[in-house]
Structure 1
């Protein structure tokens, strides 16, 4: 069995590759990257690296030669049309390279009425795969917990979480846990290839006062909850280049659409995911 991982130098892809190296022989693993200049660390580990450009189906076809199962991690663009075209290019390349199986990495903001900018893409992809001839599996991630760690100093300074989600809860998963589940799923054919959909989450979702209490306990600083409006949130983070997109995501959260939890992680891995308090304790330095 030959496995390929796209986005193999990214935050999630690099972790998936690392997890897979502990489960399969390196000769059976291919890391697909957009830029070879960022792949030195992978090459030093004797992992096969191939360049593949989502925008070029010919490039992806060459990268996918000899692959049996693709773990497809999308790009980070907020351009829905571009993201759809990247998927279409990849599926075309899979057909030309005769790749039969795909694990599609998704996000749980895919509801029909979800106002998140990328919701149309996350709704499109499963339906597109369902109408294809590929053996596929959908893996939806909850919100990544990892960005909370570098965000803590700002929250400590503000003395409050400001996410505009009101009384609704948010659900999280760590990048490491997501990567472990994806790697484990890849080597367990009994759990994939038949259109299964999994949601990777911690065991509990959190209201913002509950999350603030966890953060306060971990940091020994008082953090409360004082939400701002969606407009204000977008304005605060517009300098980062994704203020409006993040605001649209939390709009979905305010509608109760980012709170889902399941036991799917445990089904795939055989153990519970890392809970929020443990995750923050292990990654935050006071």
Structure 2
């Protein structure tokens, strides 16, 4: 059985690689990187390095030859080649190369989501289901690491701003999402499956309370309007496309787009993910 893992230079992909390597021999694992330079450390560690990226479908066909299972970590939005087109390239190449099974990282509530980041995932999920390749789709909620700015503000000033209203988020550590993905990749593919993955649901007020517990001082979550939040991003000097995504995610949270009715996280991870306090402790160190 041969495996190829994408996104290994990122935090999610590196966690997946780490976990897969616990049960799969390195000689059976290939990694996809954008350049030989980026692949040096992986080659030195004993992994097969394949150089390519999602924008080049023909090259991807070569990258995927001889691979049984593909760990398809979704690409980042906002690149020169659109994420939708990149994902189309991956799936067309995987099918042509004869990949038998894949795991894909999607978004909470998948094809029912109206979140700002959802459209590309909706298209990709549909393409996967029509591809004929055995699949597991992992609908990941929100990484607690994405709240780094809030955590830093709480540590410094004892408060943070948000525009998420009373919306709830299934925050969990990125590495836990990675470990769950690794288990999906190395597990049985007896039937196609879609997994909703989320930690316990919490509001930003809950996050402030958890930070208060850890820091030993009162932390206040200050809710502001979506317009005020966008203005603060502009004042901070963020490029307009980044402003749109960051503010859009806050709108999604306020509109309950990251709330899930159930989670398969514990079953796929093999144990319950860390609770909010313990997750924050790991980040703060």
Q: Which residue of 2 aligns with 1:223?
A: 219
Q: Distance in 2 between matches of 1:240 and 1:261?
A: 34
Output one character per residue of 1:254-280: Cα deviation in whole Å (capped at 9) or x when no partner.
111112264412212321111111111
Higher mean C-alpha deviation, range 173-182 or range 30-39? 30-39
Q: Which residue of 2 aligns with 1:237?
A: 233
Q: Which residue of 2 aligns with 1:88?
A: 88
- Count of matched residue pairs: 281
Q: Distance in 1 between matches of 2:111 and 2:131?
A: 21
Deviation for aligned residue 1:137 = 1.2
Does residue 1:164 correspond to 2:160, yes or no? no
Q: Distance in 2 between matches of 1:80 and 1:207?
A: 35
Deviation for aligned residue 1:200 = 1.7
Q: Distance in 2 between matches of 1:211 and 1:25?
A: 40
Q: Which residue of 1 aligns with 2:104?
A: 104
Deviation for aligned residue 1:126 = 1.4
Q: Note if contact 1:138-1:198 (Cα within 8 Å) is conserved in structure 2.
A: yes
Deviation for aligned residue 1:78 = 3.3
- Which runs of no fewer than 5 residues in structure 1 stay unpaired? none
Q: Note if contact 2:88-2:124 (Cα within 8 Å) is conserved in structure 1.
A: no
SS in 1 for 2:137: strand
Q: Which residue of 2 aligns with 1:144?
A: 143
| From 190, 194, 214, the counterpart of 2:191 | 194
SS in 1 for 2:11: coil
**Moved segments of 4+, more than 4 Å:** none
Deviation for aligned residue 1:198 = 0.7
Deviation for aligned residue 1:153 = 2.1
Deviation for aligned residue 1:111 = 5.4
Q: Note if contact 2:75-2:83 (Cα within 8 Å) is conserved in structure 1.
A: yes
SS in 2 for 1:170: coil
Q: Which residue of 1 aligns with 2:172?
A: 173
Equivalent residues in 2 for 1:265-284, closer than 5 Å: 265-284=265-284
Q: Distance in 1 between matches of 2:146 and 2:113?
A: 26
Does residue 1:214 correspond to 2:210, yes or no? yes
Q: Which residue of 2 aligns with 1:12?
A: 12
TM-score, with structure 1 as normaliser: 0.91
TM-score, with structure 2 as normaliser: 0.91
- Which runs of no fewer than 5 residues in structure 2 stay unpaired? none
Q: Note if contact 1:136-1:193 (Cα within 8 Å) is conserved in structure 2.
A: no
Q: CA RMSD in A?
A: 2.1
Q: Distance in 1 between matches of 2:245 and 2:109?
A: 12
SS in 2 for 1:274: coil
